[in-house]
């Protein structure tokens, strides 16, 4: 906020906080869902491209998702991750939130994008076009959309932490930005 106030008129590439989401159709293979676990758990979910929320079709069988996440269950053996898991679970339970839990990942139904460590937000959708519009309206808040055939600029399952050389943060080529601003 203060940076915008003082330097908003100057060229800048200061990034705002963004999150990544995954859109599931219910037709994903077990391999795709397991690869999604890489997008969720790599860097304990703290990477700027880590998936912090999933969108599920209304009648989605959550056991399918939890089964695919099982190969990542050893993450709970990291004491700092486990502390966050215990803390967030306690806060959610004391607040009487409805939770889904597999012993190492807490799923909480939530509209916002940024979930805390050891938690993953989820939201059900009924209409694909409404969800596409919602994601489009929140483009400035999203770093990546993981899916299979849902949107044009999607990232495939398991690849959020493997950007290509031309996958610039926020779509801004930093070198070109520096070269252009140094001329001014």
Residue 149 within a domain: yes
Residue 121 within a domain: yes
Q: What is the pTM of this model?
A: 0.90
Domain that holds residue 163: 15-182
Residue 8 within a domain: no
Tens of pLDDT along 140-150? Answer: 899 999 999 99
Q: What is the distance between the alpha carbons of residues 162 and 135, in angstroms, rounded to a whole number?
A: 22
Residue 131 within a domain: yes
Q: What is the distance between the alpha carbons of residues 135 and 129, in angstroms, rounded to a whole number?
A: 10
CATH number at residue 132: 3.40.309
Give Rg (Cα) of the chain: 18
> Is 121 in contact with 133 (CB distance < 8 Å)?
no
The residues with which 122 forms a beta bridge, in sequence order, are 54, 109
Tens of pLDDT along 96-127? Answer: 999 999 999 999 999 999 999 999 999 999 99
Residue 30 within a domain: yes
Tens of pLDDT along 7-25? Answer: 878 887 777 788 999 999 9
- Is 87's pLDDT higher than 80? yes
Our count of domains for the chain comes to 1
Residue 4 within a domain: no
Q: Which of 9, 3, 75, 5 is nearest to 38 (CA)?
A: 75
Residue 158 within a domain: yes
Residue 136 within a domain: yes
């Amino acid at each position: 906020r203060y940076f915008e106030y003082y330097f908003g008129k100057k060229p800048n590439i200061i990034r705002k906080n963004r999150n990544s989401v995954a859109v599931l159709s219910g037709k994903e293979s077990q391999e795709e869902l397991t690869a999604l676990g890489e997008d969720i758990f790599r860097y304990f979910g703290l990477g700027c491209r880590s998936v912090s929320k999933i969108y599920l079709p209304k009648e989605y069988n959550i056991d399918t998702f939890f089964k695919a996440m099982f190969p990542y269950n050893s993450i709970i053996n990291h004491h700092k991750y486990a502390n966050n898991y215990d803390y967030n679970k306690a806060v959610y339970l004391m607040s009487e939130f409805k939770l889904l839990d597999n012993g190492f990942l807490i799923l909480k139904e939530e509209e916002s994008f940024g979930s805390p460590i050891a938690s993953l937000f989820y939201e059900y959708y009924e209409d694909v076009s409404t969800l596409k519009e919602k994601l489009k309206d929140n483009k400035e808040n999203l770093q990546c959309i993981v899916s299979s055939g849902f949107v044009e600029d999607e990232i495939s399952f398991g690849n959020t932490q493997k950007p290509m050389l031309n996958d610039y943060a926020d779509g801004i080529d930093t070198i070109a930005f520096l070269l252009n601003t140094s001329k001014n």
